[in-house]
Amino acid sequence: MTDLPPKEFKPLVKEFADSFKQFKQGGRPIKHEPLSPADQEELEAFTPDTYGPCTCGSGKKFKFCCKNGFKEIVFAMCAAQDGYLEQALRHMKEAEIKIGTTAEILCRYAICWSFSNRENSTKYLNEALKLNPNHPRTNYILGIEAVQDENFEAAITFYKRAIEHYPKEDKVHLNETYNNLGTAFYKTNNYIDAKAAWENALVLLPKDVMVTNNLFECIYNNPDVPKEIRVISPFILKFIEREN
C-alpha cells in the first residue's frame, strides 16, 4: 500500500480505520468491535496509498494532493450524514484551508449540502465542474441526482465519465460507480450492460453483498431476463460467494 516503514504507517491506518468505522456507523461514537469481512475488504481498498494516485482524479499522488485534509473530509462526511451540517461545514473549511479550493473540495461541500438543500448542493457541483469537467466524484454525484430525477440516460453518461477518470487503483469508488451504473442500465431494461457493470463491480470488491444480490435477483435468477443473459459469466464464477 505504501513505502512508509510499517511502524510509521500503522498509526495512520489505525486513525483512518477509526474514521472509517465512524463513517460506517453514521458519524456516531465508534463501537470497538471487529469489522465484518465485507467492511474489512472495503476499508483495505478505501485506505489511500500515500504514494498512489489521488482518488480525486487530479493525476497527482495522494501525498501531494488531498492527503493533508483527508481526515477533515472524512469527518465532514460523517457529520453531514448524521445531520450536523454546521459541524460538517467547519470540517470542510479546515480541509479547504489545508488543500485549497479544488474540484474535490467543492464536490464535498456539495455532498454536505445535499442532505438538506439541493439548490446549494447543485451550486457547488456546478462550481466543481467549472474547475474540472472530468472530476470523477462530481460526475458520480450528478449520476445519482439524474437517477433520482429518473433521467437514466444522463445518469449513465455521468457514471461512465466518473469510471473513466477515477484511478484504476481506486477499487471502492469504481465498485460503487459500476454498481450504480448497473442499476441505471437495468432501469432502461438494458440487461446485458447491467450484468456487465455489476460483474465489474464484483471483481473489484468480491465480498460486496449488495452487488452480489443485484446480480442474482436482477439477472441470474430473474425469469424476465432472457435465458442466455442469465448465465453467470465464466470469469465471475470464482467471485461468487453464495450458491445460485
CA distance 183 to 155: 10
Chain-centre distance for alpha carbon 38: 15
Task: Please give the average per-residue pLDDT across 152-175, as a whole number.
Answer: 96
Q: What is the reported pTM?
A: 0.81
**pLDDT at site 239:** 75
* pLDDT tens string 230-240: 999 988 888 77
- The amino acid that residue 78 corresponds to is C
Q: Is 23 exposed, middle or buried (0-12, 13-18, 19+ CB in 10 A)?
A: middle
For 15-24, 40-49, 144-153, 208-217, which range has the lowest pLDDT when averaged over its residues?
A: 15-24
Is 205 within 8 Å of 42 (Cβ atoms)? yes
Is 195 within 8 Å of 171 (Cβ atoms)? no
* pLDDT tens string 115-132: 999 999 999 999 999 999
Select from 195, 183, 121 the least CA-distant residue to 156. Answer: 183
Q: Indicate the Cα dihedral angle 18, 20, 21, 27, nearest 10°.
A: 100
CA distance 208 to 177: 13
- The DSSP result for 171-192, as a single string, is HHHHHHHHHHHHHHHHHTT-HH
Domains in the chain and their CATH numbers?
21-132 (no CATH), 162-244 (1.25.40)
Select from 71, 124, 74, 79 the least CA-distant residue to 102. Answer: 124
Chain-centre distance for alpha carbon 187: 20
CB atoms within 10 A of CB 162: 27
Confidence grade of residue 20 (pLDDT, cut at 50, 70, 90): very low
User: Cell 463501537 belongs to which residue?
Assistant: 31
